[in-house]
Each structure stands twice: as structure tokens, then as C-alpha cells.
């Protein structure tokens, strides 16, 4: 009987130790899983930090500013050689006046001939404003007489026509229209 009791005690002790070993193994497994999850989280955090753009330093910003200022100075220098739109408009007005004087002087010198010069058709519209559409300058026109409603406004891009008058170009604050051989420059309000 003693043998039976000792055998049973040994089996109980081995079973207890096996259960403790199993419990310890379960605890180790759960700790290992937590550590693996933390390691994965840290790896993702490190990867996210590495994918962020580099932080600009004061020296980088200063270098960029100097480069941009140099470019701006180059652009200003290159633009200083071009005439301003107002200067061109004034020159065009002077040229038109000179042409008018020359025409008047020729007419005064030449004997009156019965000339069958065709008058260009009058403008059936007036220019209301200018704007930028699709990267091109355009003008808005309305009927020439009296008040107008918004639905009477028409936007013209270069190449569009109202009646016989076709918009050739918009130069600064002047719109250039052509009807046949007649060209007219109209100031944009």
C-alpha cells in the first residue's frame, strides 16, 4: 500500500509540475505575443517616421530664399527692357494722330475727287469689360444703344465676331477689331 501511495504521490507531483510548466509556457507565450505586437508597432512607427519629408532647416530656408531672390532679380532685370503697356498705348495713339494728320494733309492738297470709299459699318456693340478666359484675354460686349440686361452680354475671344466686326486681339487696354480691310482700335473701359 505504501508503494501505491508513493506511486500516486509521484504521479500527482509530476502532474502538478506539468501543469505549472504548461501555465508558465502559456504566460511566456502571451508575453511573447505582446512583445511581438509591440515590436511590430515600433517597426511601423519607425517606418512612418522615415517616410516623412525631411524637416527644413533654417539654412535650407535661407538658401532657398537667396535662390528665389536671385531669380526674382533676373526676371525684373529682363522685364525692365520691355516697354510698359501704357507706353505702347501712348505710342499707338501718337501714331494714329500722325496718320490722321497725314491723311488730312493729303486730302487738303489733293483736288476733290468723287471717291467711292466705302464707310466701315458702325459698331453694333460697345465694350463693357475685359477679362482672362482659357488663358486668353477676352472682352465682354453689349448692344450699343441704351441699357442692357445680363443676357445681352456676349464674351468674345480673339477670332470671334459680332456682325461684320471680328476681334483680332486684346492689347493692354485696347481691343483690335477688323471688318474687311478696316481695322479699329477700341479702348476698353
Q: Report yes or no: 185 and 176 within 8 Å, Cβ to Cβ.
A: yes
Check whether 20 has a pLDDT greater than 60. yes
Residue indicated by cell numbers 505586437: 37
Q: Centre a 10 Å sphere on the Cβ of residue 123 and count the other Cβ atoms it contains.
A: 17
Q: How far apart are CA 64 and CA 70, in angstroms?
A: 10
Give me the chain's average pLDDT, please.
Answer: 83
Task: For residue range 95-140, list pLDDT tens digits in order.
Answer: 888 888 888 777 777 665 555 556 666 778 888 888 887 788 889 8
Q: What is the pTM of this model?
A: 0.37
Nearest to 172 by CA among 85, 57, 65: 85
Q: Residue 112 has what pLDDT?
A: 57
Task: For residue range 62-107, list pLDDT tens digits in order.
Answer: 899 999 999 998 888 877 767 677 777 878 888 888 888 888 777 7
Check whether 18 has a pLDDT greater than 90. no
Amino acid at each position: 500500500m505504501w508503494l501505491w501511495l508513493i506511486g500516486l504521490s509521484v504521479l500527482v507531483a509530476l502532474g502538478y509540475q506539468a501543469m505549472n510548466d504548461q501555465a508558465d509556457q502559456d504566460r511566456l507565450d502571451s508575453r511573447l505575443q505582446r512583445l511581438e505586437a509591440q515590436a511590430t508597432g515600433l517597426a511601423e512607427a519607425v517606418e512612418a517616421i522615415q517616410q516623412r519629408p525631411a524637416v527644413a532647416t533654417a539654412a535650407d530656408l535661407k538658401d532657398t530664399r537667396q535662390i528665389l531672390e536671385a531669380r526674382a532679380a533676373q526676371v525684373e532685370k529682363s522685364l525692365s527692357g520691355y516697354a510698359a503697356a501704357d507706353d505702347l498705348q501712348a505710342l499707338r495713339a501718337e501714331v494714329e494722330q500722325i496718320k490722321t494728320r497725314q491723311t488730312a494733309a493729303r486730302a487738303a492738297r489733293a483736288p476733290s475727287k468723287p471717291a467711292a470709299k466705302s464707310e466701315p459699318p458702325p459698331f453694333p456693340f460697345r465694350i463693357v469689360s475685359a477679362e482672362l478666359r482659357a488663358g486668353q484675354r477676352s472682352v465682354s460686349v453689349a448692344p450699343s444703344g441704351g441699357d442692357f440686361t445680363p443676357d445681352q452680354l456676349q464674351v468674345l475671344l480673339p477670332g470671334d465676331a459680332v456682325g461684320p466686326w471680328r476681334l483680332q486681339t486684346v492689347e493692354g487696354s485696347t481691343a483690335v477689331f477688323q471688318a474687311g480691310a478696316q481695322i479699329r482700335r477700341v479702348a476698353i473701359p
